[in-house]
Amino acid sequence: MAALNALGRHLALTGYMGSGKTTLGATLAERLDRPFVDLDAAIERRTGASVVELFAERGEAGFRSLEEAIAGETLNASTPTVVALGGGAVLSEATRKRLCERAFTVVLEVDTATAWDRVRGSNRPLAESAEDFATLHRERQPLYEAVADARATDADDVVLAAAGVHVELGAIDLLGELVPTDGPIALVADAHVAGIHGVRAQLALGARNTEQHEVPAGETAKSVPVLERLWSALRIGRDGTLVALGGGTTIDVVGFAAATYKRGIAWVPVPTTLVGQVDAALGGKTAIDIPGGKNLVGAFHWPARVVCDPSLLETLPEEERRNGMAEVVKTGLLAGEELWTLPDTDLVRRCAAYKAAICLSDPDDRGIRNVLNLGHTFAHALEAAAGFDLAHGRAVSLGLLAALRLSGQRDAEATVREVLRPEPVSVDLDRAWEALLRDKKAHGGSPRLVLLDRPGQPRWNVQLPEADVRAALRGLIA
C-alpha cells in the first residue's frame, strides 16, 4: 500500500532530468524545517568528482552502484529529510524498495519538451541529443509510476500531498477513490449538511458506506454527551474508517471519536465550510469543549486523507463564509500574503498548503505550530465566556484585533477591520479572563501569546504584562 503522508518518513522527490527536484527540494526543506539532501551533490561531496567526471571514469554502471549506496545511507537515516533523487536513481531495485519502506515519494511531473529546454547544453551525460533524451524519458516513466505515492508540479502540490490533503473541484464525487483504506466506512454529518450533501457523499462512497450517523450542528456537537452517543452507535471495526462530512465542529468531534474509538481508527474529514477547508480539517488536531474552556479535551490524530472540494462552498450562507474568512486573514497575515483576495479554489489551496507545511514540521504542536494560534487565545476566551454561543469566526476576528494591537501592527489591524468588520461582543470580562488563563498555551497561570512583528514574521510564546493583556481583552467587549 502506498504511504499516506510524510509524517515520520523522508519526503523523496523523483522525476526526470529538468523536473526541478533540486530547486524545489531546497524550498520544501525550508518550509518543512527538515534537512535537505540532493543526492547528486552528496555523491560529488563524497567522491570529490562531478557527476560528469564520474560517468566518464566509472561508466554509468559504476555511477549507479555508487548512487545506490549513498541513496541507501540517506534513506536509512532516522531523521526525516527532504531528498532530491537523481533522475536515474529509480533504476535501482534496492532504492525503489527503500523508497517504499522509508519515504513518501512524490514524482515531479514535467513534459519532455520542457525538460529538454531546461537541460540542453548543461553537459549532463544523458542529455546529449533530444531524440535519446525523449526515449529515455519514456523508458523511465513506468519506474517513476512504480514508486509514486503522489504526483506534483509545484511546492504547494508537494506539501499538500505530503500532508495527505486533496484539493479539487468536485472531489466529493470521488470519495470512493479518495478514502484510502479498504474497510467499511461510517459517514457522520450534522443534519443540515446531511440534507444538502449527504446523498451525494453516500453515492460516491458506494457499498463501503455501511453506516450513517448525525451529530448536532454548531458548537454543541463538541460535547461529551454527543461523543458518547457516537461511540455507542458505531458498529465498524478497527479496519473501518470514519468520514466526517461538515464544518469545523463536526470535524472536531468526529476526529476525536476516531482517535478514541477502539483505541483509534482511520478517519477522513470532508470539510464543507471555508473554516473547515482552510483550518479545522488540517493537521490532525481533534477536540471537544468542556465548561472551563474550548478544545480542552482532545487528541492528535492525523487523518488518512483530507478531501477539500471548494465547490461545496457555493452553498455556504454569508455568515459562514465570514467565519471562514477570519481564518483566511489569519493565515495570510502569518504568510505575509494577501490570500483573502484569491478566488476560492486558489484561496483554499494556498491556505491549506501553508497550514499543512507548518503542521508537518511540528505535528505535536511543540514549536512553530503555535503561530497558528494568532488571535485564538483571545478568541477562545470570548467563546467560553459566551457559553460557546459565539461564532468562531467572529471571535477570531476580534482576537486578531487584540493580538495585532499588542503587536503594534496598525496596518494589519486596519486590514482586519476592513475585511472582517468585527464588532465587540457582550460577555462578562471576568469570565473571559478566567477562560483566557486556562488556555492550553498558558504557563503557570500566565497567558502566552502569538504576536506579529510584521506580516510574514510571527512570534509565539510571548509573555506580556497582565494589565496589557487584560486591557486588550477588555477592548473586545461591548
DSSP 381: H
Amino acid in position 332 = G
* Same fold flag, 10-157 and 166-316: yes
- In Å, how far are 89, 224, 247, 383, 386 from 291, measured between CA atoms? 56, 11, 21, 11, 11
- Residue found under cell 471548494: 310
Q: State in Å, rounded, how far the first CA of the chain is from the last one.
A: 55
CB 446 within 8 A of CB 433: no
pLDDT at 107 over 90: yes
- Average pLDDT of the chain is 94
pLDDT at 406: 97
CB 294 within 8 A of CB 384: yes
Segment 75-86 mean pLDDT: 97
Provide the CA 75 distance to its chain's centre, in angstroms.
Answer: 24
For 250-261, letters b (16+ CB in 10 Å) and e give: bbbbbbbbbbbb
pLDDT at 304: 97
Report how many helices (DSSP H) and strands (DSSP E) the chain contains, helices first: 20, 15
As a whole number of angstroms, the distance between CA 257 and CA 263 comes to 10
As a whole number of angstroms, the distance between CA 281 and CA 249 comes to 10
pLDDT at 326 over 80: yes
At 374-428, the pLDDT tens digits run: 999 999 999 999 998 899 999 999 999 999 999 999 999 999 999 999 999 999 9
**Roughly what angle, to the nearest 10 degrees, separates helices 21-32 and 155-163?**
50
Model confidence at 129, in pLDDT bands (50, 70, 90)?
A: confident
Q: What is the DSSP string of 146-206?
A: HH-SEEESSHHHHHHHHHTEEE-TTGGGGHHHHS---S-EEEEEEHHHIIIIIHHHHHHHG
pLDDT at 440 over 80: no
Model confidence at 242, in pLDDT bands (50, 70, 90)?
A: very high
CATH of domain 166-316: 3.40.50.1970
Model confidence at 37, in pLDDT bands (50, 70, 90)?
A: very high
CB 461 within 8 A of CB 448: yes
Q: How many CA atoms within 13 Å lie on the side-chain side of 394? A: 16
Q: Which CATH superfamily is domain 368-474 in?
A: Dehydroquinate synthase-like - alpha domain (1.20.1090.10)
| 3-state SS record for 306-370 | EEECHHHHHHCCHHHHHHHHHHHHHHHHHHCCCHHHCCHHHHHHHHHHHHHHHHHHCCCCCCHHH
pLDDT at 443 over 80: no
CB 236 within 8 A of CB 266: no
**Roughly what angle, to the nearest 10 degrees, separates helices 392-407 and 466-474?**
130
What is the longest distance spanned by two Cα atoms in the chain?
78
Model confidence at 24, in pLDDT bands (50, 70, 90)?
A: very high
pLDDT at 1 over 70: no
As a whole number of angstroms, the distance between CA 69 and CA 109 comes to 26
Model confidence at 194, in pLDDT bands (50, 70, 90)?
A: very high
Model confidence at 54, in pLDDT bands (50, 70, 90)?
A: very high
At 248-294, the pLDDT tens digits run: 999 999 999 999 999 999 999 999 999 999 999 999 999 999 887 78
Closest CA to 34 of 83, 70, 72: 83
At 209-226, the pLDDT tens digits run: 999 999 999 889 999 999
Indicate the class that CATH gives domain 10-157.
alpha beta
All 3 cell numbers of residue 134? 525523449
Cα torsion through 270, 163, 257, 236, rounded to 10 = 80
Map out the domains of the chain as residue ranges: 10-157, 166-316, 368-474
| 12 DSSP β-pair partners | 83, 105
Q: Which helix (H) or strand (E) holds 57?
A: helix 51-76
pLDDT at 239: 95
At 296-313, the pLDDT tens digits run: 899 999 999 999 999 999
